[in-house]
Amino acid sequence: MDKYIQPWKSNGVSFEIDNTFGSINVIAAIEAIKETGLSAAFALRTGGSIVSSPVISEDIIYFGCADHNFYAVSFEDGNEIWRFETKGPIISSPLFYNDVLYFGSYDRNFYAVKKNGNLLWKITAEDVIVSEPKTTSGIIVFGSKDYNLYAVSAETGELKWRFATNGYIDDAITVHNDVIYFGSWDQKLYALNKEGKKLWEFKTNGIIASQPIVHNETLYFTSADQNLYALTLDGKEKWRFKTSGPLRTVDASRNLIFCISRDKHVYALSEDGNLEWKFKTGEMLSKSLTATDDMVFVGGCDNNFYALNMKGEVLWKFRVKNIIVPPALLYKNTVIFGCEDCNLYALNLNGELIWKFHTSLSYPIIYDVESIRREKSFEIVWKPAEILEEKTETRKDKVDIADYGTFSGTYIDTSKTDYLGRKKKGYVK
């Protein structure tokens, strides 16, 4: 079983975990370690978990999975229609545009797949791709962990331009009136025109890993600095709202702005930034937030999927077997969402199960507890899957791990070849 790992250390605690699966996993590991008081090492393995949102067209649901597969299933009964296999976990939510599905994979490839499941084209980035793609003026834009925002032709995949930042680009892109707004782990929100020229940037004090939204000509986005920001479309701050934990997702409906925080709360704000209500769940929240005309759907780390009314009152909740990371989708009075328990669920608006679809692996993304480590620094060693080159290059890497600050480490790069294009794997030495 493949392992996609990156080591982290915080306050004497060392563990191996994959940041691409969302910082929710990093935070969960830290919280677990803090409770035990031990310095444990954790490794995150690939599993059948669904950690991205689906899209729907003509009663067919399309979504990616951490089992390396991209699925098409029937909306009516949840039966599989086809699957498309990649060489890595699919964390990217797809885009459906002109009868083509666009999505990235952890194998560093960005795919264009026809709605019948046949490959149209693919291109390779310099690192993994986890962001949800967007489209404007016939181009597809997506971000990568290689710090770049890419713009490619929707028809051919030809690279039109790319824009470099100083951090990972996660699920943090939106397009409005041909302006591309996106955040980066360099703590900045950027605005580009469709030719890739920077219009402005806005600096925060935390990573920006969630998708901004434009609602009533105001731009809203969240940051790991615990703030929800409201900006004018030319990048001027209107207001900010502070919570007690890092924020990941924002949505809007009617005249309310919703956000979820790792302080376990769902917040509802007026358009001028005043708190209308807040709702507390049983555990911290990741990014599962969807606001409709009269309901708000929230999935949490307490293994519950909540339906709230516009006053923040619980209408119902549905229990699952693992945490819920991706936002839900409402389609024909059916709520559809993926879960780390390896299932895609379809519920009616009363919270009753219609069907569920199980992915190809029955085990979710797993944390393996490894040996207790006492060292004060870490060394990441990259090596080919089958052979180890003799020539090495030592480099320093600086990592911003959400609200837990910035950490530095030195790693040895023993191979110039990509994972699966370059057969690259990592471990802590």
For residue 400, the model assigns a pLDDT of 37
DSSP 3-state of 23: helix
Predicted local confidence at residue 114, as pLDDT: 98
pTM above 0.85, yes or no: no
CA gap 19, 150 in Å, rounded: 21
Calpha distance 112→94 (Å, rounded): 10
Number of domains in the chain: 1
Task: Specify if 91 maps to a domain.
Answer: no
pLDDT in tens, 265-285: 999 999 999 999 999 999 888
d(CA 189, CA 173): 10
pLDDT at residue 311, rounded to an integer? 96
Q: Residue 285's pLDDT is what?
A: 86
Residue 81: inside a domain = no
- In the three-class reduction of DSSP (H, G, I as helix; E, B as strand; rest coil), residue 403 is classed as helix
Q: Contact at 8 Å (CB) between 218 and 231?
A: yes
In a domain, 224, yes or no: no
Question: Is residue 24, in this structure, part of any structural domain at all?
Answer: yes
With respect to residue 158, please indicate whether it lies within any of the assigned structural domains.
no
d(CA 307, CA 315): 5
In degrees and rounded to multiples of 5, residue 403 shows phi and psi of -80, 0
Domain that holds residue 394: 6-46+365-428
**Does residue 64 lie in a domain region?**
no
In this structure, is residue 27 part of a structural domain?
yes
pLDDT in tens, the chain (429 residues): 343 444 444 444 444 444 434 444 444 444 544 454 444 444 345 689 999 999 999 999 999 999 999 999 999 999 999 999 999 899 899 999 999 999 999 899 999 999 999 999 999 999 999 999 999 999 999 999 999 999 999 999 999 999 999 999 987 899 999 999 999 999 999 999 999 999 999 999 999 988 999 999 999 999 999 999 999 999 999 999 999 988 889 999 999 999 999 899 999 999 999 999 999 999 888 889 999 999 999 998 899 999 999 999 999 999 999 999 999 999 999 999 999 999 999 999 999 999 999 999 888 865 433 333 333 333 333 333 333 333 334 333 333 333 333 333 333 332 333 333 333 333 333
Secondary structure tally for the chain: helices H, strands E: 1, 40
Structural domain contains residue 320: no
Centroid of chain to Cα 242: 22
